[in-house]
Structure 1
Amino acid sequence: MATRKEFLKTAGLLGMAGMIGPASLVAAPAQQKKPASSWIDGSRLVVSVSMQFEAGGQPVNAESPFPQNMVKGYKDLPSETWYQYGYKEGIPRMLDTWDKLGIKVTSHMVGSAVLKNPSLAKEIVQRGHEAAAHGRDWATQYTMSYEEERKFIQDGVDAVKQVTGMTPKGYNANWLRRGEHTLQILQELGFTYHIDDLSRDEPFIIQVNNKDFVVVPYTLRNNDIVLVSGQWYSSDQFLQQVKMEFDQLYEESANRRRMMSVSFHDRIGGTPQMVKAATELFTYMQQHKGVTFRRKDDIARMALSDKTTIRE
């Protein structure tokens, strides 16, 4: 079966047939099939893993698996323990797993969560993972004015830098809902990429303030908060769905640049069953030739360095 690129090329030739004649089409030499694009580091398929560090930064009575029926004026104490699991058990377990698998991830850090658990945030960076920004807290930033949002983002950056010593280069808004001024602010503050975009399965470059800015697409399909927490998938269903996504992207990567994004949240992806599923999943991926795991800041750098990166 022809690829879409081959189809479009053939369709274009057929459209010209009336002008140049069928004999010319027959006489044209067959061209060797070549990849439309490839990664500059030699990878066939790049896998990007997100580890959200949010627990401890959530508002009072935040969303949780418990029924949202608390009487106004009272705290949802069991729900708070669900979040506490994220920094007490979840992230430490995931960090050990990433070391075991030999992969590096991007941790999107909420500023207030980092300030509450500074030693854990510092450990994430010390183990070689990326510290990316995820706002000061769980506020809805798309309703903010330019000045309010700029301070909100900067406060989150300052918290991460104060604790870990690293200045975030990537950004993720709460539930991906950025505002009209977000990208302009990110560019002004020295960020190089954001992930609040679901439109592609590979990184691409846009113009912000007349400068290159990278989009490293995120995922909802391979995301534990949507599938496991939101849809109540079991861990084996999560494993099967993400594995099917990998198999398809790996097949496509023979002819074009492909990136796969997988996301874990501290209090969900750090549970024993989900870590077991992740271990099986990533071990399976590592058995395929040309599959590499990259932090999102590394992916952004590769995109900026490659003249063949898609531009929009």
Structure 2
Amino acid sequence: MSSRRDFVKQGGLLGLAGLVGSNLASAKQNTSANNFNTSKWADGSRLVVSVSMQFEAGGQPDNAESPFPQNMQKGYIDLPGATWFQYGYKEGIPRMLDNWDKLGIKVTSHMVGSAVLKNPALAKEIVDRGHEAAAHGMNWATQYTMPYEQEKQFIKDGADAIKKVTGFTPAGYNANWLRRGENTLKILQELGFVYHIDDLSRDEPFIIPVNQKDFVVVPYTIRNNDIVLIEGKNFSADQFLTQVKMEFDQLYAEAEFKRRQMSISFHDRIGGTPQMVKASNELIKYIQQHKGVSFKRKDEIAKMALEDKTTIRES
């Protein structure tokens, strides 16, 4: 089975090739969306941007992959590696939350259940500040190998942890490294989820049938993703900024003629570092200079997709 680091490297190659991816009412629209006649979004947006903030630190297994060499002898704990993850909840998420407030945007936070239970006050603060809490499993276990009932309990436990701590019922789901199994979507539909993000096939939301009901796909990204570009490819903050700006410019141009969504992803211990918060601040200010751009949580996007008769449907 490939390691997280191997996946990052493989995902980085895909990113390079891409250059030569009662709660709804409380979310506020913080960036104006001018009414373009050519808009393919029901609210008049020309382009919708959705930011993910991964809350994973504290839920990782012992000796999870970190920037340190993976050469720890069996039976010993990688103590320095553990501090790299601790940075995510001690510094990273608090710094990003302040940044989102300054920029006036709301994001979707994909939360690992065990991380939420370890840092309940921080998880609740994310929701209290107007951001969406989406489920991200109970821990970092490989769920696609689980039997049906085991996977169902795994997903439910993670969602229940979020609900217990924050009061927010997750509508969306993200599997560890997007690696869902054949039963995952059926289980999500049974548990009342509305959408998932473990799909890279489009630059706009679409609807699929699951258990004879509509289920929304809000596509994720590994192109505009700090764990791929910064940790995996060792991009500098400037290189990250340049690549994601290029992505935005192209999607903004395409959005004159068709519905376009741009996803950007930041992880607690990576995107929450000082240089990356500076880069994300500059990036989002750049995006906000363009008319007709709106920033939306993924639950808002899913709701819009379900209500719009022109949303793409796949069988």
Give the alignment's TM-score, normalised by structure 1.
0.88
Q: 1:55 aligns with which of 43, 57, 60?
A: 57
Q: CA separation in 2, counterparts of 1:185 and 1:296?
A: 20
For the pair 1:279 / 2:259, whether they are aligned, the reply is: no
Which runs of structure 1 show a deviation greater than 4 angstroms over 4 or more consecutive aligned residues? 34-37
Q: 1:224 aligns with which of 205, 209, 226?
A: 226
Deviation at 1:37, TM superposition (A): 6.1
Aligned to 1:268: 270
Aligned to 2:242: 240
For the pair 1:64 / 2:59, whether they are aligned, the reply is: no
Q: CA separation in 2, counterparts of 1:46 and 1:63?
A: 33
Deviation at 1:95, TM superposition (A): 0.1
Deviation at 1:259, TM superposition (A): 0.2
Q: CA separation in 1, counterparts of 2:310 and 2:254?
A: 17
Aligned to 1:295: 297
For the pair 1:306 / 2:308, whether they are aligned, the reply is: yes
Q: 1:114 aligns with which of 108, 113, 116?
A: 116
Q: CA separation in 1, counterparts of 2:38 and 2:203?
A: 14
Q: CA separation in 2, counterparts of 1:37 and 1:153?
A: 36
Deviation at 1:35, TM superposition (A): 7.8
Total equivalences in the alignment = 279
Q: Is the 8 A contact 1:37 1:308 kept in 2?
A: no
Q: Is the 8 A contact 1:35 1:254 kept in 2?
A: no
Aligned to 1:189: 191
Aligned to 1:80: 82
Q: CA separation in 1, counterparts of 2:242 and 2:38?
A: 29
Q: CA RMSD in A?
A: 1.0
Aligned to 1:101: 103
Deviations 1:33-63 (A, max 9, x none): x988610111000000000000000000001
Q: CA separation in 2, counterparts of 1:290 and 1:36?
A: 11
Aligned to 2:178: 176
Aligned to 2:12: none
Deviation at 1:268, TM superposition (A): 0.2
Q: CA separation in 2, counterparts of 1:73 and 1:117?
A: 27
Q: CA separation in 2, counterparts of 1:168 and 1:144?
A: 22
Q: Is the 8 A contact 2:39 2:45 kept in 1?
A: no
Amino acid at match of 1:91: I
Aligned to 1:249: 251
Q: CA separation in 2, counterparts of 1:253 and 1:264?
A: 24
Deviations 1:13-36 (A, max 9, x none): xxxxxxxxxxxxxxxxxxxxx988
Give the alignment's TM-score, normalised by structure 2.
0.88
Cα 1:175–1:141, aligned 2, differ >3 Å: closer, same or farther?
A: same
Higher relative contact order (Cα pairs below 8 Å, separated by 6+ residues): 2
Q: CA separation in 1, counterparts of 2:126 and 2:161?
A: 15
Q: CA separation in 2, counterparts of 1:40 and 1:65?
A: 44
**Larger-Rg structure:** 1
Q: Is the 8 A contact 1:36 1:257 kept in 2?
A: no
Q: Is the 8 A contact 2:52 2:266 kept in 1?
A: yes
Amino acid at match of 1:143: T
For the pair 1:40 / 2:56, whether they are aligned, the reply is: no
Structure 1 gaps of 5+ residues are: 1-33
* Percent of aligned positions that are identical: 80
Q: CA separation in 2, counterparts of 1:202 and 1:266?
A: 25
Amino acid at match of 2:45: S
Deviations 1:154-192 (A, max 9, x none): 000110000000110000000000000000000000000
State the SS of the aligned residue for 1:267.
coil
State the SS of the aligned residue for 2:222.
coil
